[in-house]
Chains A and B, each alone.
Chain A
Amino acid sequence: MTAFQRLRFGAAWGLCLAAALITSPDANAAPAAKPDDRALTIVARWELKNADPSVNGYAFTRMEVAETLVDADGNGTPKPGLAEGWEASADGLTWRFRLRTGVTFHDGTTMTADHVVTALNHARAKPGSLSKAPIQAITADKGAVVIRLAEPFSPLLSFLADSASQILAPASYDDKGNVTHVIGTGPYRVAEFKPPQHLVVTRHDSYWGGPASIAKATYLATHRSETRTVMVESGDAQIVFNLDPASVQRLSRNPKLSVQAVPIPRVISVKINAGHPLLSDLRARQALSLAIDRTGIAVGILRQPETAATQLFPPSLGAWHDSGLPPLTQNVERAKALLAEMGWKPGSNGVLEKDGKRLRLTLRTYPDRPELPPVATALADQWRAIGVDVSIAIGHFSDILSGHQDGSLELGLIARSLAVAPDPLGTLMQDFGPKGGDWGAMNWSNPALTEAIDRILRSQQAEESAAAKRAVGAILHQELPTIPVVWYTQTAAVSKTLKGFEIDPFERSYLLSRLRWVE
């Protein structure tokens, strides 16, 4: 047989059942665990790579192994974490963080200001939010941590809440500053870390906030959503994240499970090369936006009608979402009229032409987020209806980034998190700055927008900041440097043997320590 034989094996029920008879004793062999030390299994799609906080930090904060100086509540507002409180100087350049006392790392060391300074300096040297903040120095001062800035920077607290800024014990780092073991302060400690799939944590009994209820939990990275769904249906897992749209409906009918959905600050949008001759005209971008049937995509593909984006910022980003903006809607006639106004005329196959050139573009996207390719196919189809011939190139997401750098990108369908750190400002600075951003505007900038972002950065007053935020939203809505398509919803199915489950909209934590088994 050939070397490819391995890819073609088959099965049927007769043999399955025969085999079941052979193998079933195996499954019954495990003795039933005592209710108290039942282990919890959480399944999501993100694979583990290594212990580096800038790479995989989110996995350790989500499993509550590591904590950050500043925490965030369900709205993304900063709240005390390992720091009990903080003060900023009048000029906004010096921040002083008072540390919580009686915090111990999992190796028994008591946390001191020096430890925190070391951890933050390591974090600053690696990619992540902190490396982008204008920090001059981080020092320890009488049990407090002092951060000196080169210029006022309001999202500092949010950047400190980024999982890449987690505080680890000195023993976590090797002599080159790389993290070899994650020794954190959270309610759970690492028991086993086996990339790419496994992270097992056990309860840290001397946690400063009091010990958690569940003794042991396993995180299992599972790429395919069908597999994840099956695991929660069969009882192999108690919590499963990132459900595919079709499964949400089926699982909600399962009496043993409850399904939760929470909007999260991530948005699927079309990144546009505004320097491209066909796209530099605002009318072209508006036409593309008007051609999109967002409700159709939200209902048909994501099966969540409320996710159709009416503007860039989802309602969950309270301070940024502006309900006063006219919603983005579909209007095919208006889209066609705009293109006609620009001189495009229908040619063969209904594709528009001008001066013998056809209106043809390429939309790049990537399969890492499984909903992107279907949304791309839907978009291409809807754009074809207004005479724009869009071909889809599904590749690696770095093709979009490198296409931005070398200018070859025309359109890119991306799923962008607006809040890597809880405050979207960091993302906005990166995406819509004066030079554009790899994940944001391309060959597009707007002085008014830059100025508004700057005002928010320096602002220490809520009203001033709120007005500037509305201005940012309005400009992005008007100019469409990226076209929002749908917002994201995080979905999870949870076994009813658990209580206290909640989804953190900022995906910072799985909130394990709030869970308990139903008696």
Chain B
Amino acid sequence: MIRPILHRVAQALLVALMVGVLTFALMRSLPGDMAWRVAAGRYGYDITDAAVMEQVRQSLALDQPAALALLSWFGDLLRLDLGVSLISELPVVDEIAHQLGASVTLALTALLLSVLLGPPLGVLAGLRPGGGLDRALFALSITLRALPQFVIGLLLIYGLAIVFGLLPASGHGEAGHVVLPALTLAIGLAAVSCRVARDATVAVTTSGYYRFGETKGLRPLDNFLRHGLRNIAVPIVTYLGVQLVYLIEGVVVVETLFAWPGIGHALVHAILARDVPMIQGTALVMGLMFVLLNAGVDVMCGALDPRRRTS
């Protein structure tokens, strides 16, 4: 039990180190004067001019050597201080909590919806491979995956919000607002996870132990519940666990479309405005989340499949 934990801790440290150095190096190698970008990000195009830029340059201490700035970032990190955003001048921790929090809410809702939609259909299709449902689902899934996210989003908005008026089109703050963006994401996820579930089901039901269960006279439902379900769940949990991270960082298109204050949107803006502390903080938190989630997936798979614990 100790070794895997140590392994994850080492990985987390490595990620923190890499994120810090890599984002810092990349940010410093970006073209253009950082002071201009920061001034522009803060004051917008009507106010920014050379005088404002100079004022910002003074306040930022940009002439500080790069190595020193990096070291001080790591120093602050040890004290669990992610610094202050160059643009909003608010603590990075607060910004991340607000924006990443919104993304996590969205991603979790999407994941939940997709679990309701995808895997059950996939398992049903996999129980009778080549059947009508299997073929229909294959066609549906492959078409859905070919539709760009923003097209789905707009179709949903147009259908559910404008024509039928069932749900708020976009915005943030009330419970109903999360449904459409989450659904947009969930549909794409379900299109893939139903295939994963279907393939896993086919693999399990054609396996020796499952056949044996049938032969020894278990009723199909009992056989499925006792020998099938857990084995099918392992690849699905693995798949969804990995997807959660990608969802959180990758919802930028959906965030933009639905006016959702998420981290993808924040990253795009932070890079444009050269908000180094914000980018480093976000990348760090997201990297650590990835490590944590992987650990979580391992634990869950171990719980589902005791064989993995011994190996």
A residues near B (Cβ < 8 Å) are 1, 3-16, 18-20, 22-24, 26-27, 29-30, 41, 43, 47, 49-50, 52, 54-55, 127-128, 164, 178, 194-198, 218, 220-224, 226-227, 230-231, 233-237, 366, 368, 396-399, 401-402, 404-405, 414-415, 417, 420, 430, 437-439
A11 adjacent to B156 (CB under 8 Å):
yes
Which bucket holds chain B's interface residue count? 35 or more
| Chain B min CB distance to A395 (Å) | 8
A236 adjacent to B148 (CB under 8 Å):
no
Ranked 4 nearest A-B pairs via Cβ = A9-B188, A6-B250, A11-B152, A10-B144
| Chain B min CB distance to A369 (Å) | 8
Known: A16-B159, A30-B176, A50-B89. A127 touches B47 (CB 8 A): yes
Q: Is B90 an interface residue (CB 8 A)?
A: yes
- B146 contacts which chain A residues (CB < 8 A)? 10
Cα distance, A182 to B225, chains bound together (Å): 60
Interface centre among B160, B169, B191, B272 (most CB of A within 10 A): B169
Known: A20-B164, A396-B37. A420 touches B42 (CB 8 A): no
B170 adjacent to A236 (CB under 8 Å):
yes
Contacting residue for A396 out of B32, B43, B50, B242, CB 8 A = B32
| Chain A min CB distance to B216 (Å) | 37
Q: Is B96 an interface residue (CB 8 A)?
A: no
| Chain B min CB distance to A372 (Å) | 11
- B147 contacts which chain A residues (CB < 8 A)? 9-12
B172 adjacent to A13 (CB under 8 Å):
no
| Chain B min CB distance to A55 (Å) | 6
Instruction: Please report which residues of chain B, range 229-256, place their CB below 8 angstroms from some CB of chain A when the two chains form the complex.
Output: 239, 242-243, 246-247, 249-251, 253, 256
A12 adjacent to B143 (CB under 8 Å):
yes
- B168 contacts which chain A residues (CB < 8 A)? 27, 234, 236
Who on chain A is nearest to B114 by CB?
Answer: A9
Known: A27-B167, A396-B40. A234 touches B161 (CB 8 A): yes
Cα distance, A308 to B272, chains bound together (Å): 32
B143 adjacent to A18 (CB under 8 Å):
no
B98 adjacent to A227 (CB under 8 Å):
no
18 contacts between A and B (CB under 8 A): A3-B246, A8-B145, A10-B187, A11-B156, A15-B187, A22-B113, A27-B179, A47-B269, A54-B43, A127-B51, A196-B261, A223-B256, A230-B157, A236-B168, A397-B45, A398-B39, A398-B40, A404-B50
- B257 contacts which chain A residues (CB < 8 A)? 224, 226-227
Cα distance, A437 to B47, chains bound together (Å): 12
Cα distance, A46 to B175, chains bound together (Å): 24
Besides A12-B187, A15-B140, A41-B171, 15 new A-B residue pairs in contact (Cβ under 8 A), listed by A number:
A6-B247, A9-B144, A11-B152, A13-B159, A29-B175, A49-B42, A52-B89, A178-B89, A194-B98, A195-B88, A220-B259, A223-B265, A396-B37, A398-B37, A398-B39
B53 adjacent to A401 (CB under 8 Å):
yes
B162 adjacent to A230 (CB under 8 Å):
yes
- B261 contacts which chain A residues (CB < 8 A)? 194, 196-198
- A227 contacts which chain B residues (CB < 8 A)? 169-170, 256-259
B259 adjacent to A223 (CB under 8 Å):
yes
| Chain B min CB distance to A236 (Å) | 5
Q: Is B115 an interface residue (CB 8 A)?
A: no
Who on chain B is nearest to A125 by CB?
Answer: B55
A-B contact count (CB 8 A): 229
Cα distance, A345 to B219, chains bound together (Å): 90
Q: Is B125 an interface residue (CB 8 A)?
A: no
- B144 contacts which chain A residues (CB < 8 A)? 9-12, 15
Cα distance, A9 to B147, chains bound together (Å): 7
Q: Is B303 an interface residue (CB 8 A)?
A: no
A24 adjacent to B88 (CB under 8 Å):
no
Who on chain A is nearest to B175 by CB?
Answer: A26
| Chain A min CB distance to B141 (Å) | 8
B162 adjacent to A10 (CB under 8 Å):
no
- A27 contacts which chain B residues (CB < 8 A)? 166-168, 176, 179
Who on chain A is nearest to B273 by CB?
Answer: A396
Cα distance, A4 to B243, chains bound together (Å): 10
Cα distance, A417 to B46, chains bound together (Å): 7
B247 adjacent to A234 (CB under 8 Å):
no
Who on chain A is nearest to B40 by CB?
Answer: A398
B49 adjacent to A430 (CB under 8 Å):
yes
Who on chain B is nearest to A17 by CB?
Answer: B159
| Chain A min CB distance to B294 (Å) | 13
A19 adjacent to B243 (CB under 8 Å):
no
- A224 contacts which chain B residues (CB < 8 A)? 256-257, 259
Cα distance, A436 to B256, chains bound together (Å): 38
Interface centre among A7, A14, A19, A405 (most CB of B within 10 A): A19
A49 adjacent to B155 (CB under 8 Å):
no
Contacting residue for B183 out of A19, A196, A401, A430, CB 8 A = A19
A8 adjacent to B148 (CB under 8 Å):
yes
Contacting residue for A5 out of B40, B161, B169, B246, CB 8 A = B246
